[in-house]
Amino acid sequence: MDGYPSFRREGGQNPAYRSTHRPLPTTPHTKDCYVLNLPYQELPLEDPGTPDTRSPVRFLLWLGKNQWRLVLGAVVFGVGWMLAQALLWAAVGQAIDKGISPQDSGQLWKWVGVVIALGIIQGFCGAMRHQMAVTNWMMATYRSIQLVGHHVSRNGSAVIDEIPSGDVVQTVGADVFRIGGAFDVIGRFIGAIVAWVVVSFILLSSSVQLGLVVLVGVPLLATLTLPLMKPLHSTQAAQREAAGRLAALGSDTVVGLRILRGIGGEEVFRNNYNAQSQLVRFSGNRIAGPQAGLESGQLLLPAILVAIITYIGGHDVANGSLQPGQLVAFFGYATFLTTPLRTVIEYILASTRAIVGSRKLLRILNTHSTLIDPAEPAAWPISVETMSDSLSGITVRRGQLTALVTETPTEATVVADRLGRFVADAPGVRINDLAIENFAVAVTRQHVVVAEIEPTLFSGTLRDELQPAGIASDEQLLTALRAASALDILDAVEDGLDSIVEERGRSFSGGQRQRVALARAFLTNADVLILVEPTSAVDSHTESRIATSLKSIRGDLTTLIATTSPLLLEKVDQVVALRDGRVVEVGTHRELLGRSAWYRELIVREVN
């Protein structure tokens, strides 16, 4: 989901990010490029819409409704492509019966011209059908990807608290492509149905017996595949579940590899991964049976139909009830009808996969944050004069640099989550004199930003990493980097702000990642900025420069810094010390060192 960062903290649910946290690029081609009056849009879409998540089928219908012009185009060209193939044999039969048999050159050339015209139509419709099929596939697939990306961005940890991250990755990396596959085949599928009906009536007009064989035989043979659909559906779902667990296990192992090495647990996790891999292989093998049956049916069932039509047609020619050209046409129809039947079976396979994939995607889309907006949200105040928390006793004021000192980082995180409204139950937190629950969550995210101790970086340019909304100038970006003492990072990369940041920022050191995230937090320009151990991974000289810059970069805005670093504590206006979740000391760093033995011991312990 690169490009759709889950800003759980720095800027999450920020209206400045147009509710998707990143305005998507709009070019002159986004809405103005038309082919045969069918609009094309660059991806990603500016707004993927609000999906119908009541069932997989309803979701697929919603996707189709959102790209109905493209679906209609695919159907039109699919029908034209199939019909041109079907009618080609009728034209060949007419050329034989009306041109070759009576040796009428005029009629021969007429029907040869019809054959050529149908070939041209078939070629044109085939090319356009393919283009529409690919476009439909891409639109459905990437709309689904965006829906997941936006949903995760809006709901953050609520998703991964309920669904393993590996399942989310598997859905975006595999299931959405199965969803798109149903839209790839739909044009050919409807074309196959229309062509089957047309050919059936052509045959009925020439031979009632043959017409009935085709009219009844094709759907009858297709229904023979239905008993295979349920086992295919269940085995695909089981394989998908196993693959999702494997991806989650792999992801967790990679993230915790350093810890595993430290405790000697690599072998255990390797064995677990091997066992899960074998389960995926076994479930994949189980799919082979019903899927092989369906795909074999694509050859066997049409062959049965061809044999029946060939026998009856040959018998009718021998009796003189059919002309030679009609017999050739019947052979052509018998050969052609294998295409519609194969297409129907292919669509059944594709739609089954799409339903399985949609069910996995809806599992994600139907998870929601426990944070609920009030029925009538209050307007955010023009200025935040105070932010207070009655549970801990903390009060931070406008224009102040306030440090929060706790015995453990966990205590600081609990307070930060409560102040940032990342927990459903946050009683006692007030903005000025109004409870924070009175404001919309998105508005709160815009004005109160929490930067975590372990920053998350995403792939993309450094410029986009710092300011995904793209509204900050280069000068503002450089100012934020300077305040975070991160200008040296520009010297270490080749293309400056346009340099590519690798996934998770793995090409950066821990200190570099932390400083990039700090600069990103500064650029939010939030009314209240809460920084949790923002300098834990940098050296003392860098930390000193950051501490000196904090006052100037934040100005008259409010900043709360959870830290036990003396270099930072020296620079703040006020230190609030918590013990067992409650404020026990308030004052400057020097005042608390002088009067509180507990505070002095805590700081000395952290330094050592």
> Do residues 492 and 348 both lie within one domain?
no
In this predicted structure, the answer to whether residue 394 has a pLDDT above a threshold of 90 is yes
Confidence class for position 266, pLDDT limits 50, 70, 90? low
Beta-bridge partners for 460: 501
Helix (H, G, I), strand (E, B) or coil at 40: strand
- Is residue 12 included in any domain, yes or no? no
- Residue 113: inside a domain, yes or no? yes
Does 528 score more than 90 pLDDT?
Answer: yes
Cα dihedral 15, 20, 21, 22 sign? negative
Is residue 36 over pLDDT 60? no
Q: Which DSSP string do the residues of 259-285 spell out, in sequence order?
A: HHHHHT-HHHHHHHHHHHHHHHHHHHH
* Stretch 168-195: mean pLDDT: 86
- Do both 456 and 541 map to the same domain? yes
What is the C-alpha to C-alpha distance for residues 9 and 562, in angstroms, rounded to an integer?
A: 15
Nearest partner of 12 among 158, 154, 157, judged by Cα = 154
Report pLDDT for 287. 67
Total of domains in the chain: 2
pLDDT at 31: 39
pLDDT above 60 for 379: yes
Residue 161 and residue 55 share a domain? yes
Tell which of 334, 365, 396 closes a domain.
365
Query: Do 152 and 233 share a domain, yes or no?
Result: yes
- pLDDT, residue 12, reads 38
CA dist 392 and 568 (Å) reads 22
Residue ending a domain, among 365, 399, 430, is 365
Instruction: Write out the residue range of the structural domain in which residue 360 sits.
Output: 48-365
Residue range 442-457: mean pLDDT, rounded: 85
* pLDDT at residue 15 tops 50: no
Q: Tell whether 439 and 578 lie within a shared domain.
A: yes
Shared domain for 358 and 416, answered yes or no, is no
Q: With a cut of 90, say whether residue 223 has pLDDT above it.
A: no
Query: Left if phi > 0, otherwise alpha if psi is -120 to 50, otherwise beta: which for 11?
Result: left
- Domain assignment present for residue 36? The answer is no
Give yes or no for residue 219 having a pLDDT over 80.
Answer: no
Q: Please, which pLDDT band fits residue 225 given cuts at 50, 70 and 90?
A: low
Q: Which CATH number belongs to the domain containing residue 154 in this structure?
A: 1.20.1560.10
Residues 98 and 193 in one domain: yes
Give residue 18's pLDDT: 30
pLDDT over 80 at 226, yes or no: no
Average pLDDT over residues 209-223: 70
Asked whether residue 121 is domain-assigned, the answer is yes
Tell me what pLDDT residue 112 has.
80
Reading the block at residue 534, the tokens are: 């923002």
Residue with the larger pLDDT of the pair 141 and 153: 141
pLDDT tens digits along 110-145: 888 888 888 898 889 888 988 888 888 888 988 988
Question: 361 and 423 share a domain?
Answer: no
Whether residue 348 sits in one domain with residue 401 = no
Residue 238: is its pLDDT beyond 70? no
Domain annotation covers residue 4: no
Specify if 189 maps to a domain. yes
- Continuous H helices in 404-495: 409-419, 441-447, 462-466, 474-483, 487-492
> Mean pLDDT lowest for which of 81-90, 116-125, 401-410, 427-436?
81-90
333 and 438 in a single domain? The answer is no
Amino acid present at 335: T
Q: What is the pLDDT of residues 354-367, one digit of tens each?
A: 998 899 899 888 88
Residue 25 belongs to a domain: no
The whole-number average pLDDT for the span 13-18 is: 32
In this prediction, residues 173-191 reach a mean pLDDT of: 88
Give pLDDT, residue 315: 73
CATH number for 417? 3.40.50.300
Statement to judge: residues 347 and 409 lie in one domain: no
As a whole number of angstroms, the distance between CA 404 and CA 562 comes to 4
In a domain, 275, yes or no: yes
pLDDT number for residue 507:
75
State which amino acid sits at residue 605.
R
Which of 313, 331, 365 terminates a domain? The answer is: 365
Lowest average pLDDT, out of 21-35, 294-308, 347-361, goes to 21-35
Residues 331 and 473 reside in one and the same domain:
no
Considering only residues 243 and 561, tell me which one the structure prediction assigns the higher pLDDT. Answer: 561
